[in-house]
Amino acid sequence: MCLFNKLFYNTAWSAVLLLFLQISFAGWALPASARAEDARERLVSAENAIGRRINNYKFIDQDRKEFELKEFFGKPFVVSFIYTSCPHICPAITGNLALAVKGAGSISKDFNVLTIGFDDVNDTPERMKAYGSMFTNDFVHWRFVTADKNTIEGIAREFGFYYRKDGSFFDHMNMVSVVDSKGRIYRHIYGIDFKTEEVLAPLREVINNPDAVPLKKTWLKRWWLSFTSGAKLLCSTYNPITKAYDFDVWRLIGMIISGGTILVIFLFVWWQDIRYFVLKKFCGIHE
């Protein structure tokens, strides 16, 4: 094959390879990258709230009694955000929080818990009471509250908690927060399946040392959380029922097939050149 034909042949197949790569990338990498970037921004916003002293807010609790947040000041407390019509994620978070409360042992009376319903239209006191009754019968140390839209938006903003209405459901962050006795946000615990000790450890810190300094996660840990979130999202699809990104085996298979096809095309186009280079470089053979 003359040099011109060889260059034309390789260039044509390289164009096919590039086109295939662009189609594959557009098919899964770009949406996943956008989701990963959104997750990173939400994480940074939440971490920036660490150390912030929260303001007083007025709520209505599960018994239709007015409740002011300052009633909890003077003792550490845990805050969670839920909406009562959430089918899976919120009950899972609240269930794990209930396990932490039950496992608190000697410090069980040294902190309180506040669960805030952020669906200001549907999270009525009656629904908050019904929701809370699935996890506790102690509505003195664990209050389930609701409020008007402005109040919910204000306290969510102070905690760096993201939520957005999406049809009949909400897209929202999965986290609970530890607040110290001075009303400062001390720690966020992210995820759904968090362990009891992840909640109790920071609670012990602020109970034993009320002057403990809230520390944000290091940039390395923040980067690692963003990276792992992005990696998971690459192989995930959004589930409108659970409001979460579920692992998608077919997406993973598609990525493997795409990568394998690209490799095959690359070897098909450049095999002779690769073979010639190897023989010449390492074997001293000239064809």
Instruction: Give pLDDT tens digits for 62-80.
Output: 999 999 999 999 999 999 9
Of the pLDDT bands very low, low, confident and very high (cuts 50, 70, 90), residue 18 is low
My answer on whether 67 and 193 are in the same domain is: yes
Copy the structure tokens of residue 212. Answer: 């403990």
How far from 27 is each of 18, 181, 239, 258, 274, CA to CA, in Å? 14, 49, 18, 10, 30
* Structure confidence by residue, pLDDT tens digits, 96-121: 999 999 999 999 999 999 999 999 99
Distance CA 43, CA 227 (A): 12
My answer on whether 11 and 141 are in the same domain is: no
My answer on whether 62 and 121 are in the same domain is: yes
Number of domains into which the chain is organized: 2
My answer on whether 99 and 16 are in the same domain is: no
For position 151, what pLDDT does the model report? 97
Kindly state whether residue 160 falls inside one of the protein's structural domains: yes
My answer on whether 167 and 196 are in the same domain is: yes
Residue 137 belongs to domain with CATH number: 3.40.30.10
Higher-pLDDT residue of 168, 157: 157
Kindly state whether residue 230 falls inside one of the protein's structural domains: no
pTM value is 0.67
Kindly state whether residue 239 falls inside one of the protein's structural domains: no
Determine contact, residues 79/176, Cβ cutoff 8 Å: yes
* Structure confidence by residue, pLDDT tens digits, 190-236: 988 899 999 999 999 999 999 999 877 644 454 445 444 444 444 44
C-alpha distance across the termini of the chain, in Å: 14
Kindly state whether residue 114 falls inside one of the protein's structural domains: yes
8 contacts: CB under 8 Å, gap ≥ 6: none
My answer on whether 101 and 183 are in the same domain is: yes
| Domain, as residue range, for 268 | 3-43+245-283
C-alpha torsion sign, points 89, 242, 174, 234? positive
* Structure confidence by residue, pLDDT tens digits, 134-148: 999 999 999 999 999
My answer on whether 136 and 18 are in the same domain is: no
For position 29, what pLDDT does the model report? 44
The secondary element (H helix, E strand) that includes residue 247 is strand 244-247
C-alpha torsion sign, points 13, 19, 22, 26? negative
Kindly state whether residue 222 falls inside one of the protein's structural domains: no
For position 181, what pLDDT does the model report? 96
My answer on whether 18 and 143 are in the same domain is: no
Higher-pLDDT residue of 41, 3: 41
Q: What is the dihedral of CA 174, 148, 129, 105, to 10 degrees?
A: 50
Distance CA 258, CA 264 (A): 10
Determine contact, residues 117/127, Cβ cutoff 8 Å: yes
Kindly state whether residue 263 falls inside one of the protein's structural domains: yes
